[in-house]
Chain A
Amino acid sequence: MSEEFEPIIVAFCCNWCSYAGADGAGVARLQMPTNFRIIRTMCSARVDPEFILRALSKGADGVIVLGCHPADCHYIGGNYRARRRIALLRLVLEQYGFDPKRLRLEWVSASEGEKFQTTLTTFVDTIKALGPTPLVKEGQ
């Protein structure tokens, strides 16, 4: 393949911190790769592991979940729950044979547009280094 691999990344952003952080990054006109699609959820704990598995099963090369910093959750403990689930889900993905780096959890607050930019940029680089999703679509 001569063209450079452009990964498809699904980013789940919590409504209260990370989505506002993404907004801030846009308003500040920070340069970012365009490989990610943002899905807004009310809380990072709203991201059911099934959502992540569905994204991967439909061909996403990586999934990133962004939530409020520890102790900043709008719902007090949602991000702690998300952290546990994603840690466990990474173990499950590793057992499937995925590189666990394809799933990442990061904390981005409403004021951290710059962190949003660097997080997404490094994640896109990570996935580019990993290559396309190992999942083989049925019939291929």
Chain B
Amino acid sequence: MGFLDMFKKKPKADKSAKNTADKAAAKAAPVKSAAKPAGAACASKTAATVEASKLPFSDLVVPGPLVSYKQGFGTPPNGKIKLAIYWAAACGGCDVSILDSNDGVLTVGDMADIVMWPIAADGKEKDIAAMNDGEITVSIISGAVRNTENEHMVKLLRKKSAIVVCYGTCACFGGSPALANLVGGGKDEILDYVYRKTPSTANFQADYHSDSAVVPQNKVDVADGELTLPVLYDTVKTLDQVIDVDYFVPGCPPLQESISYLLKAVADFVYGGVALPPKGTTVGVVTRTLCDQCSRRKEFRRITKIVEPHEIDVDPDLCLMDQGILCLGPATVGGCNAKCTSVGQPCRGCYGPTTAVQEQGASALTAIASLFPVIDDDPTCGEDEIIDIMSTIKDPLGYFYAYTMGKSLIKRSVTEKGGK
């Protein structure tokens, strides 16, 4: 058997074997059974994991009695619902994470017609525009709002949908796209850099279009009429700054449990008429910080030097902050089960701030500034020395606000105009 054949056949065989095992196990064990064979855990993930994981202080309240998917799906009693999944300014990772719900995603095919999903289905803007208001039951939108097209599409989907889910960190907090807000010159500076100054563009090379750089225009007249491109905004917005949003699912990408929970809530509603969670629910977060879920030992050491994980031998059991690695765990809401810190990488804060504060960056700043020890000469040392200590943190703004610039208080870079 060749290498490629192995690649092709193996997963298929595995999958069918697993499915059979799952079905057998699911028949044998009721959904709520505590002692479950390993195979069944996967099959019943949508229903059981949320309950079984028992996240402390969780907002993940399972709505009403569990509707078992083992009863078979089929068409819902009131016919299939319509589902739209859309990406605005996003990388597509959120769309892929929807598929992470394993066989839970199969529910979707039984339950819903996917009317739009740019990454996978063929629905077009005109199809959505032709629908009645509220005809789509659920729209799952990932990504920040960065240009006129994003804004038009999310407003259109809001109008046509009963429920809009703000899916992923970019939609909830701005995410990486919102770091563009820190470019002082706004969209002009960004376009100028991207199309004229990056060494990999043809415009940059002296012998090519040297006298007229090719930069995309928003409008161009051609023989058949006018062609347009979306207009970029200076300030990247979060989804809920543009439209009304019903549920938030943070994460970069959201945890598989979160999407499973979401699918289950919708499936329970569609099949069993179980009430949906209250509007504004943030799915998949706990009320405490990530540190509460992190299993590392905390010694509350003071640090004098900041290091990157690759520069030291990371102690697998000791808190990363104690080892001098900047971790945003103390400022980030828990819910991800500390996936990054458990493999020795610091938290970068993709789940956003806790519910008690608005500013994740300010919380991180507070926590990290306090890590530096009070030195013996602190009563006498000057302000310059303190600035020297703090300057060891490179790019504090980008680090503390890596995911939440869109929801920060200042939101974008400013330019001093000087006095009188």
A5 engages B419 (CB within 8 Å)? yes
Instruction: Choose among B383, B391, B411, B414 the residue that contacts A98 (Cβ–Cβ < 8 A).
Output: B414
A131 engages B414 (CB within 8 Å)? no
A50 engages B374 (CB within 8 Å)? no
Chain A contact residues: over half helix, strand or loop, or mixed?
helix
| Chain B residues in 8 Å Cβ range of A135 | 410, 414
| Complexed CA–CA distance, A87 and B397 (Å) | 13
In the complex, number of A-B residue pairs with CB atoms less than 8 Å apart? 112
| Chain A residues in 8 Å Cβ range of B395 | 95
Interface residue? B349 (CB, 8 A) = no
Contact with A along B315-349 (1 / 0, CB 8 A): 00000000000000000000000000000000000
Chain B contact residues: over half helix, strand or loop, or mixed?
loop
| Complexed CA–CA distance, A136 and B234 (Å) | 13
B390 engages A134 (CB within 8 Å)? no
Instruction: Choose among B358, B369, B398 the residue that contacts A50 (Cβ–Cβ < 8 A).
Output: B358
| Chain A residues in 8 Å Cβ range of B400 | 92
B369 engages A84 (CB within 8 Å)? yes
Shortest distance between the CB of A53 and any CB in chain B (Å): 4
A48 engages B366 (CB within 8 Å)? yes
A-contacting residues, B6-55, CB 8 Å: none
B397 engages A84 (CB within 8 Å)? no
B414 engages A88 (CB within 8 Å)? no
Interface residue? B420 (CB, 8 A) = yes
A70 engages B379 (CB within 8 Å)? yes
Q: What class of interface size applies to chain A in its complex with B?
A: 35 or more
Interface residue? A42 (CB, 8 A) = no
Contact with B along A74-116 (1 / 0, CB 8 A): 0001001101110111111001111100000100000000000
Shortest distance between the CB of A126 and any CB in chain B (Å): 10
A81 engages B369 (CB within 8 Å)? yes
A-contacting residues, B367-420, CB 8 Å: 368-370, 372, 374, 378-380, 383, 386-387, 389-391, 393, 395-398, 400, 408-411, 413-420
Shortest distance between the CB of B388 and any CB in chain A (Å): 9
Interface residue? A130 (CB, 8 A) = yes
B410 engages A57 (CB within 8 Å)? yes
| Chain B residues in 8 Å Cβ range of A71 | 379
Interface residue? B359 (CB, 8 A) = yes
A136 engages B414 (CB within 8 Å)? yes
Interface residue? A56 (CB, 8 A) = yes
Given A50-B409, A57-B409, A97-B184, do A87 and B387 touch, yes or no (CB 8 Å)? yes
| Complexed CA–CA distance, A84 and B378 (Å) | 11
Residue in chain B with minimal CB distance to A128 = B419
B-contacting residues, A33-75, CB 8 Å: 48-50, 53-54, 56-57, 70-71
B420 engages A98 (CB within 8 Å)? no
| Chain B residues in 8 Å Cβ range of A54 | 358, 409
A130 engages B418 (CB within 8 Å)? yes
| Chain B residues in 8 Å Cβ range of A28 | none
List, sorted by A's number, 19 A–B pairs whose CB atoms are closer than 8 Å: A49-B359, A50-B362, A53-B409, A53-B410, A56-B409, A83-B383, A84-B370, A84-B389, A88-B365, A88-B396, A95-B396, A96-B182, A96-B413, A105-B383, A128-B419, A130-B418, A131-B416, A131-B419, A134-B417
